[in-house]
Amino acid sequence: MGKLVISTRLRLVASFLAVTLLVGGLSLLVGTQLIYRAVLREAQARISLDLNAAREIYDDRERSTLLALNVAAGDQSLRGASDLLSAGRLSTRLAEVAEAGTLDFVGLVSADGRRLAATGAGSGVPANPIALLALRQRAAVAGTVVMSREELAAEDASIAARALIPLVPTAHAAPRPDTPETAGLAIAAAVPLLAADGSLRVLYGGVLLSRNDAIVDLIRDTVFRQETYNGQLIGTATIFFGDLRIATNVRTPSGERAIGTRVSEEVKQKVLDEGQPWSSRAFVVNEWYVTAYEPLDDIQGARVGILYVGVREAKYTDIRTSALLVFVVITLVGIAAAIGLGIFLGQLIMRPVSQLIAASHRVSDGDLTPEIGPVSRSEIGILQKTFADMLGALRERNERQLADRERELLQSEKQASVGRLAAGIAHEINNPLTGVLTFTHMLLRRTDLDASAREDLTTIVQSTERVRAIVKGLLDFSRQTQLDPQQTDVNRLIADTITLAANQALMKGVRFCFNPAEGLPCRTLDRNQMQSVFLNMFLNAIDATDNGGHIDVSTSLTLSPEEPGRRNIEIVIADTGCGIPASLLDKIFDPFFTTKEVGKGTGLGLSVSLGIVERHGGTIHVASRPGQGTTFLVRLPLDGVKRP
């Protein structure tokens, strides 16, 4: 029983668990991945926009450089005759221009490229490439230029020194000889102007991008607005010269700007070699970033570097991690709920069932009043109710059977004890009775007796005859065990028996009416015993009926009310006599019960009759109304005789 309950409960819990795990696990995997991808895509889209903004800032720096030079070019002091030029004054003026435009170098060259003045202390040879370009084109130019170490040094030794960047070994970078970068990348502009003497001059200036924190920090601060994650600025911007970081706010693990490190080979190939923008995850220095790269072209259209913006991926992976965590928590809660719900539902469903099982065990052990528990409102309730009804029916049948058995037992015990007694008595009494009868009769034969003695002797004889009748009755009662069955026509038997009782009826003034059923089949029965049954009933009826009354006897063939398909022969004996009080109806089949006065009956009649009829498989029913009469119904099954 316990096993069944547990396994059903387990099965319930297991199914709930399976569903939860399936749903939870799937949403865990799919959901986390979906969220992560969506977030990443969003981040990617944003970083691409950010790169546009960075490019705008970069281009703006070109424009502002050009603007500063344009403004300065209107100054008459730059147009004076070259020989009249006061080198000191001009230098001061150029320094002002440099400061106003936050330029690293500003210079003025003549049409042949000869330096007239400059902010730096360099030799001026070789001439600045942007200035030469403006001279060649005779127009204002602005853009990115690559300046060799010599060109940088021609401006100022400090600039050349700034541009010197030693290589830092970088994972994932393309192989490159380990020689320091000496060239520099600059945003520069040059504006031609006409001197007072009509000769051409070029005012040029620029910003060296190498180790220039201002631009990349401006980009970062503008684009990412100081956004931080875990206490660190999340956004980064970098300007590459070739694949080399020359200006960046990406930090090395030690916290320094990662100048001298290089872009990963993958990005270099795509952006620098193929000229394509890159927008994806990328390994930057020592960490994964969500990045966007695009090539930087110099003023002549050659790819010379890369512009980069990126945010640390940690923020997004952390989102994934926390989403994962949330899903895990939800799944765990779901599992706990599933187990709880499974156990609860299992108990809810199984409690009435296990109670029913326990109840049926108790029923099989003989207890017909087991506890079924409260009736559930589900289908199990119907089962419970049916079970309870069944128990009720069982109890009722049991009680009825018990009562029947007790009554039968009592009856048969009575009969058995009376039988044994009767047999003993009959045997022992009959011998002395023989003596009494013989000697009394012999005395009566004498002729010398006076009338009084003869009368007394006659009384003795009569009394002895009574004793003989009583003993015979006892014996009849005791020996009612075996039947001598033979094919008998019941109608005929009854008619014969009525004839036997006819004399008595005539004397009492009682009329017999016999109404035999037609076509009543013959039945095997003990003719003698059954005759004594009917005779006894007829004599009882005659005794109970007064002068002028009648006794109706009828036979009929009926269908068995208990066993469908079986037929009974019914014999009804109804008198119009004094009837039997209801209080005595139960007792009339008891041995020795009689209502007759002393000497008129032994009381064994009906008890014996019932025994005989029952041995024939039949029943006797009696109904009576005091003052109106009594009806006996003898019912004999047509088929089969119950053997003792």
Partner 1 sequence: MNVLVVDDDPVVAASCRKVLEPEGIRVRCAMSAGEALVAVREGAFDLMLVDVKMPEKDGFIFLREARASVPLAPVVVMSGFSTQETVAMSAEAGACLFLPKPFTPDELMHAVRRATGASKGG
The angle subtended at Cα 424 by Cα 421 and Cα 429, nearest 5°, is 115
Minimum gap (Å) between residue 385 Cβ and partner 1: 57
Minimum gap (Å) between residue 389 Cβ and partner 1: 51
Q: Which is nearer to partner 1, 190 or 426 (CB)?
A: 426
Minimum gap (Å) between residue 470 Cβ and partner 1: 12
Q: Which is nearer to partner 1, 157 or 433 (CB)?
A: 433
Q: Which is nearer to partner 1, 121 or 469 (CB)?
A: 469
Phi/psi zone of residue 25: left (φ > 0), alpha (ψ -120 to 50 degrees), beta?
A: alpha
Concatenated DSSP letters for 57-126?
Answer: HHHHHHHHHHHHHHHHHT-GGGTS-TTT--HHHHHHHHHHHHHHTT-SEEEEEETTS-EEEESS-S---S
Binding track, positions 81-120, relative to partner 1; x by CB under 8 A: ----------------------------------------
Q: Which of 166, 161, 132, 130 is nearest to 145 (CA)?
A: 130
Q: Which of 311, 312, 296, 293 is nearest to 51 (CA)?
A: 293
Q: Do 604 and 581 form a contact (C-beta atoms < 8 A)?
A: no
CA dihedral 520, 522, 524, 528 (to 10 degrees): 80
Q: Which is nearer to partner 1, 209 or 422 (CB)?
A: 422
- The two structure tokens encoding residue 214: 């201002």
Examine residue 520 and tell whether it contacts partner 1 (CB under 8 A).
no
Minimum gap (Å) between residue 557 Cβ and partner 1: 30
Minimum gap (Å) between residue 448 Cβ and partner 1: 15
**Residues near 615 by beta carbon (within 8 Å), at least 6 away in sequence:** 480, 483, 641, 642, 644
Minimum gap (Å) between residue 491 Cβ and partner 1: 25
Minimum gap (Å) between residue 433 Cβ and partner 1: 4
Q: Which is nearer to partner 1, 468 or 550 (CB)?
A: 468
Examine residue 472 and tell whether it contacts partner 1 (CB under 8 A).
yes
Residue 373 is given by DSSP the state -
Minimum gap (Å) between residue 484 Cβ and partner 1: 7
Q: Which of 157, 324, 358, 423 binds partner 1 (CB under 8 A)?
A: 423
**Measuring CA to CA, how many Å separate 5 from each of 263, 348, 353, 363, 376?**
67, 11, 8, 19, 17
Q: Which is nearer to partner 1, 384 or 480 (CB)?
A: 480
User: Which of these segments, 17-25, 114-122, 470-478, 509-517, binds partner 1 (CB under 8 A)?
Assistant: 470-478
Q: Which is nearer to partner 1, 435 or 640 (CB)?
A: 435
3-state secondary structure 154-205: HHCHHHHHHHCECCCCCCCECCCCCCCECCEEEEEEEEEEECCCCCEEEEEE
Minimum gap (Å) between residue 425 Cβ and partner 1: 9
Minimum gap (Å) between residue 609 Cβ and partner 1: 17
- Whole-angstrom Cα distance, residue 599 to residue 369? 52
- The two structure tokens encoding residue 171: 């994972």
Q: Which residues from 424-463 bind partner 1, rule CB under 8 A?
A: 426-439, 441-442, 445
Please give the span between the terminal C-alpha atoms of the chain, in angstroms, as a whole number.
45
Tokens 């059903």 -> residue: 8
Examine residue 374 and tell whether it contacts partner 1 (CB under 8 A).
no
Minimum gap (Å) between residue 394 Cβ and partner 1: 43
Binding track, positions 474-493, relative to partner 1; x by CB under 8 A: -x---x--x-x---------
Residues that bind partner 1 (rule: CB under 8 A) add up to a total of 27
Q: Which is nearer to partner 1, 362 or 472 (CB)?
A: 472
**Residues near 245 by beta carbon (within 8 Å), at least 6 away in sequence:** 238, 239, 258, 259, 260, 261, 262, 263
CA 192, distance to chain mean position in Å, is 86
**Residues near 18 by beta carbon (within 8 Å), at least 6 away in sequence:** none
Q: Which is nearer to partner 1, 65 or 464 (CB)?
A: 464
- The two structure tokens encoding residue 193: 């102007």
Q: Which is nearer to partner 1, 406 or 428 (CB)?
A: 428
Q: Write out the residues near partner 1 by the rule CB under 8 A.
A: 423, 426-439, 441-442, 445, 464, 468, 471-472, 475, 479, 482, 484, 528
